[in-house]
Amino acid sequence: MSDLSKLKNISNVRTFKENEYIFHEGDTGNDMYILLSGRVSIFIKSKDNLQIKLCDISAGGFFGEMSLLEGEPRTATALAIENTVALSVNKDNFEAFIIEQPSMAFKLLKGLSSRIRALDEELSSLKKGCQYVIPPIDSADALSDSTPCISAANPEDLKGVLYHAEHGTYEGESPDTDSLYIYDKKIACPICGKEFELPVASQHKLRLSSIDFDFRHRYEEFEPLWYNILVCPGCYFAGYSHEFDIHMDNLCKTFTEKTAPIRKKLAFKYSRPRKLDEVFTAYYLALYSAKAMNVGPLKSARIWLQLSWLYKDAGDEKMYAVATDQALEHYYNVLYGSSLTRLTDEQDQQCCLILGELYLLKNDRNQAVRQFHAAIRRGGGNALYNKQAQDRIYYVKHEMK
């Protein structure tokens, strides 16, 4: 009898439809899967609750072995991206099979060894840094520790290129009390490999006071919006902290060529205390980075939403309306665009709730209610999001004037 036939005798054959989750990160489980047909994508969740794709598994491959071997919760999420058939092997049956078929153990160990080797090579390349040398750009190369934070020969030249055409200049700087909630963190750019240091929020020190319906978190004595975006002073890659944990130096040449027009006109460096103009510029650099890397609408949607909060705080009603419109357009594309973004149930619910709130700002009650209804998952999803959606539907229909 073949290895596969013996394995079928002591395991369960499972079938999964396209876009069906096999398990989620954090789930309990003591079995692994050997793929007979189809394809499965493996994801991990970032600190910001976004899905980061690690790899695809095709027929003959295996996954879920960490929970089988260690009995620990799932460290990643598995999603069938095609109709898939797999063998589910639990710990007891697996041990019995290994006794009969030691060759299968060798195959699994070989597969694990290959994955470890790939991780070692990736770590090695991270240590070496990017091999592509960024071409000198006068404005960026002139930066030093004593350089003023942000300057441009003519800021108007960047309107329509980096900034929105109606973007202005804004007074304000971070308060002295911010020093109580931040710490300096050493960071390596995932694009060009440049190492630098930036202040980031110390999450355990923050005291949450409230959460708005559009998921803006309000903290006592601290505004995290001012510290959300990290900017590499070398290539100007900008994004959220979890994006700096992903190794992407193969994109260095392409990315730096796309950002060269910006780096030629703009010298950017956060100062202390941080200036509001710098914060706006960082968010626009993050938008530029998202477009240059073609990462899809979800990152841009989130940036525009947070820009709308910043503009509202700054008292710029015109740009607040512009940013709100942009956020609505991008969140709509996330949920209903031609190139649909893969979301977990909770992410989908959150996007629907945010889109509903954006429609309310446009005074479009019908669309808002549709989105709140779309956020409700009967018998599933996040219970708090289900309750929030139901409450907002009641508010629009019975209390909103």
Spatial separation of the C-alpha atoms in residues 170 and 68, rounded to whole Å: 55
Over range 170-175, report the average pLDDT. Answer: 93
Residue 220: HSE in the Cβ half-sphere, 13 Å Cα cutoff: 6
Over range 98-122, report the average pLDDT. Answer: 62
Written as one letter, the residue type at 124 is S
Q: What is the pLDDT of residue 55?
A: 77
| Domain ranges across the chain | 3-128, 138-341
Going by C-alpha positions, the residue among 344, 234, 345, 327 that lies closest to residue 283 is: 327
Greater model confidence, 378 or 137: 378
- The model's pLDDT over 318-348, given as tens digits with 9 standing for 90+, comes to 999 999 999 999 999 999 986 666 788 889 9
Q: Which tokens hold the place of 121?
A: 């090579």
The fourth-level CATH superfamily of domain 3-128 is Jelly Rolls (2.60.120.10)
Q: What is the pLDDT of residue 332?
A: 95
Q: What is the pLDDT of residue 166?
A: 92
- Residue 116: pLDDT over 70: no
Greater model confidence, 281 or 88: 281
Over range 130-137, report the average pLDDT. Answer: 53
Q: What is the pLDDT of residue 112?
A: 63
Q: ∠ CA(9), CA(11), CA(12), 5° rounding?
A: 110
Top-confidence range, 12-26, 256-270, 346-360: 346-360
Over range 359-387, report the average pLDDT. Answer: 92
Q: What is the pLDDT of residue 31?
A: 82
Spatial separation of the C-alpha atoms in residues 302 and 239, rounded to whole Å: 11
Q: ∠ CA(59), CA(63), CA(69), 5° rounding?
A: 140
Among 38-52, 68-82, 160-174, 182-196, whose mean pLDDT is lowest?
Answer: 38-52
Written as one letter, the residue type at 280 is F
- Residue 141: pLDDT over 60: no
- The model's pLDDT over 37-94, given as tens digits with 9 standing for 90+, comes to 899 988 876 555 556 667 788 887 888 877 777 777 888 888 898 899 988 877 777 7
